[in-house]
Chain A
Amino acid sequence: MCSMTILFLSRRNSCILDWGHCMKGMIFTEFLEMAESRHSAAYVDAVIQEAAVPNDGAYTAVGTYPAAEMGCLLTAYSRRSGLAPSAILKSFGEHLYGRFREQYPAFFSAAAEPLAFLESVDGYIHVEVRKLYPDAELPTFQCHRPTPDSLVMLYQSSRGLADLAEGLIRACLAGAGAPHLLEREDLSGGNGTTVRFTLRPPLHD
């Protein structure tokens, strides 16, 4: 999930859209691929047409695009599928996690245990990400362990993509076969900019 942070990049002075923020092209190509794999090429074509993004959906992974376009695509997909944007983002997070594992296996080999891996995101993986993308605008994850087998992560990001983060976390836990329960509490009044995730082991009888 840390790796997801790679995707939210800022390009100062190069943005012409309202947010002033850009996103890595890979997010767009992955998003459209996920949609196509779940539906069809005609479905995605319809979403793109409905979203009316300036380049008509001609995204390349090596490019960089305004973050607002992602908002348009998400909205279009949600309308067409009837799914809530938050559900789409969570599911997209899970999809991304799998893609990251495929594309950047080196990031995932260092810590096999999921809590330890998640804990290391802010301190270790973000450093590695910055090596590759010096201008990446990353969220922060302040972590602490109330007990040895639980973890609290405080997500803070101006993008409000806590749902995407949740999807990534869930995929991480599922991928490792961890039985932990995930609790989520929004501390920013529903903006999704400051969210506390609490991972704890299942309750025993």
Chain B
Amino acid sequence: MTSEDEALWDRRLHREREARKAAEAVLEAKSRELYLSNEALRSLTSRLEGEVVERTRSLTQANTALQLLHTTSEVLATAEDPLQAAKQVLSQACTLLEWDGAHYWQHHLPTATLQCAAGWAMNPAADASWLAARGTADLPAGEDLPGRVLSRRAAYHWQDTANSEHYPRLATAGVRSAIAVPVMAHGRCTGVLEFFSRYPRLTDLSLVNTLTEIGAKLGLFLERHTAAQELRLAKEQADAANHAKGRFLANMSHEIRTPMNGIIGMTELTLDTNLDREQREYLDIVLKSAEALLVILNDILDFSKIDAGKLELETVAFTPVTLAEEALRPFQLRAKQKGLRLLLNTDPGIPPLLLGDPGRLRQVLLNLLSNGLKFTERGEVRLRISMAQATPFHQRLQFQVCDTGAGIPREKLASIFEAFQQADASFTRLHGGTGLGLTICQRLVRLMGGELTVESTLGQGSTFAFSVNFELPPQISPPAKAMAQDQAPAEATGRQRRMRVLIAEDSEVNQVLALAMLDSLGHEAVVAADGEAALRALARGTFDAVLMDVQMPVLSGLEATRQFREMEAGSGSRLPIIAMTANAMQGDREACLEAGMDGYLAKPIRRQQLAEALDAADAKTFPLPGPLTTGMARVLPSIPALTLDTTAGTTTGIDLAKALAMMDGKTRYLARMVQGGLEALPRGLAEAKHHLAASDWGALEHTAHALKGSLAALVAKPAAGSARALEEAARRNERTAAIAALAALETQTRALLPALEEALRPNGLACESQPGAPTAPEG
């Protein structure tokens, strides 16, 4: 190797070494650079991590706040009791925000202090001190933490590091930090929410805001609750007042109706006497006015009952066509006087018997027909009944009342059925009435499941129409059979025996009515005018049943019943007591049964119901089954106060003096009975002949039984004996014996009819005795 080569290689080696050093320096620098970048990156990462943690924390906090607001809203939406609601809000807030306990302070306005109304602690056992921290004393504004919040109306955050001397209550309880917010409603501070922690907690603006919002929510809830409660109270008071008013109305209507019946009865009686033309005219006006007043009373009573939802419909069998004829009958005279045709169109397919409330149906028809006649001067008023849909169990009937009268203006058609909405007040003044008639009709029809509609053309007439579903009576599809059933009254059971019934009733009219009905049913009756008299009568005599009026002077029917049941206790027997009341209010029946009564009859009493009730009493099948109808607002028949000659007929097999004694000397009741006999006896004889000819033994037996009862009541012993013979013959289906008995009965009865008439003659001897004395028989 030359030196030249050596120098070359030296240079080459030097270059390579230098290059290596340069490369190492570069790598060193690069690695340092890398390290620094890495450090920078790490610091960035940790800063970002911190940021993420902080962001997460604030997001969690926001989420918790939202959740708290949400649950608070939920709690308050369903809460009923304000304190319970406050307590729930406290527990939700503490649980979600991790505070150890809380109090709800109420702002008591009269004393202007805060009173602790509710408390909550995370751990009630361990945290008794939290709950104790409320103290017993009320806090005035400005004092302690809640008082400070009350006076500032703003949230306050406290830590034990500051102003501890002002908050001994908290410091003693071991509270390290607390936060209190006002319960606000419409700018008023109605309370304070106070939260405690056993650890120091930094002031957190968003937390304060959240709790402030909770306070506002609670405040609004409490205010709404108070308002709702006031509203509820006001409504309850209004309801109670309305209820009392309805009851008062019903009672007053009833109270007014009784004297009205007296007025009508006495007027009718006076009209039967000798009067001059002027007097008669005046009395006619009195009578018509009284009758009009009764109609109004009935309307008001009906309306208040329907309005209160207290009107119940009957479901009894009735014959639609007969009902329609009866509905038209009262208008025939008026139609004739006005020169109008009064027509009835019925579909021949209408079933002979349907189940429904014939009384209410009649009421609707009477009202519509009366209107039709009132507003029609020429032409006709027509009642049309046609078949609508029918199913195996139902029959829908369409009723139409068409007139050719004045018609109704279009603008009045819409409001014609609305209560107190009579478009023209002058209408009422002109035509009288309450103006409630059509409203009542509409509501009755609706109760029956229909809708009353009207079509009218001015000057041509109006048509009122409705259709109602009626049930078909079960198992009575062949019309012939249905008719037969219709004609056979349900009381014809043959089981009935003569009963001795005590009537406890203060109203004389009702006494007579009950007497007459019992008489016609073949029962014996004694009258007591009040509860005490009834108890005396029961103590002295033996009875099979009592008809007990509920509203009586001295001692009410309910109380009399209670006392009698006590007297009776231990005797082993139970006397059936049937309530009679005109009170149409619900709950009466329950009151009667509770007092110890067995049955319930609504006034006015109907013969059939009375018969059924007494049958049940006889068979001891009380309490009476089936729906009981409330009393129908119906005009009682007027009962003239008759006088009687009890000496009449003593030679013709009748002893009215004895009959009078049986009625405790009450001539007027006997007179009514005599009058009833005058009507019932000839009718009974005719019926008996008819039944005998038809060989209808059941009906004959029943008629004979009724005749027997009537005759026995009049102490017509021979005739009563013949009636008994007829009854026996009918029961055994012995034609010959029946013919003989009927012949004897007819002869004897015909003979005593003149005597009865004689006894009733106006100038006959009136020997009414001891009007004020107890009316029960002695002994």
Contact = CB atoms under 8 A, between A and B. Distances in A.
Pair from one complex: yes
Interface of A: 41-42, 45, 48-49, 55-64
A32 to B, nearest CB: 9
Contact of A58 (B5, B16, B26, B30): B16
Interface stretch (B7-15, B127-135, B267-275, B571-579): B7-15
Contact of B19 (A45, A49, A60, A64): A60
Given A63-B23, A63-B26, A58 B8 contact: no
A43 B698 CA distance: 159
B683 interface: no
Nearest to A49: B11
B594 interface: no
Contacts of B18: 55-56, 58
B14 A56 contact: yes
A63 B19 CA distance: 9
A62 B11 contact: no
Contacts of B14: 56, 58
Contact of A45 (B12, B22, B23, B30): B12
Interface in B139-153: none
A62 B8 contact: no
Contacts of B30: 62
B224 interface: no
A64 B19 CA distance: 12
Interface residues of B, number: 17
12 contacts: A42-B8, A45-B8, A58-B19, A58-B21, A59-B22, A60-B23, A61-B23, A62-B26, A62-B27, A63-B22, A63-B23, A63-B26
A48 B12 CA distance: 10
B20 A41 contact: no
Secondary structure at the B interface, as helix, strand, loop or mixed, is helix
Contacts of A61: 23
Contacts, number: 40
Contacts of B11: 45, 49, 56
Contacts of A64: 26
Q: Which of A41, A49, A59, A62 has the most CB of B within 10 A?
A: A62
B27 A58 contact: no
A56 B12 contact: no
Interface string B221-240: 00000000000000000000
A147 B18 CA distance: 52
A59 B8 contact: no
B22 A60 contact: yes
Interface string B18-37: 11111100110010000000
A79 to B, nearest CB: 19
Nearest to A48: B15
A57 B16 CA distance: 9
B8 A60 contact: no
B22 to A, nearest CB: 5
Given A56-B11, A62-B30, 7 more contacts: A42-B8, A45-B12, A55-B22, A56-B18, A58-B21, A58-B22, A60-B22
B617 to A, nearest CB: 114
Contact of A62 (B15, B16, B23): B23
A41 B14 CA distance: 14
B19 A59 contact: yes
Q: Which of B5, B8, B14, B30 has the most CB of A within 10 A?
A: B8
A56 B26 CA distance: 18
Contacts of A42: 5, 8
A60 B15 contact: no
Most buried by B among A60, A61, A62, A63: A60
Contacts of B19: 58-60
Contacts of A60: 19-20, 22-23, 26
A52 to B, nearest CB: 13
Contacts of A49: 11
A33 to B, nearest CB: 12
A89 B22 CA distance: 26
B2 to A, nearest CB: 11
B37 to A, nearest CB: 13
- The 4 tightest CB contacts between A and B, nearest first, are A58-B18, A60-B23, A58-B19, A58-B15
B150 to A, nearest CB: 66
A56 B16 CA distance: 10
B29 to A, nearest CB: 10
A74 B167 CA distance: 91
Contacts of A41: 8, 12
A57 B19 CA distance: 8
Nearest to B11: A45
B115 to A, nearest CB: 73
A132 to B, nearest CB: 14
Interface in B499-526: none
A57 B26 contact: no
A63 B20 CA distance: 10
Nearest to B27: A62
Contact of A56 (B5, B15, B23): B15
Nearest to A28: B19
B648 to A, nearest CB: 141
A55 B22 CA distance: 10
Interface in B257-314: none
Contacts of B12: 41, 45
A61 B21 CA distance: 12
Contacts of A45: 8, 11-12
Interface string B357-372: 0000000000000000
Most-contacted residue by chain B among A41, A58, A61 (CB, 10 A): A58
Most central of B15, B19, B27 by chain A CB within 10 Å? B19
Interface in B531-577: none
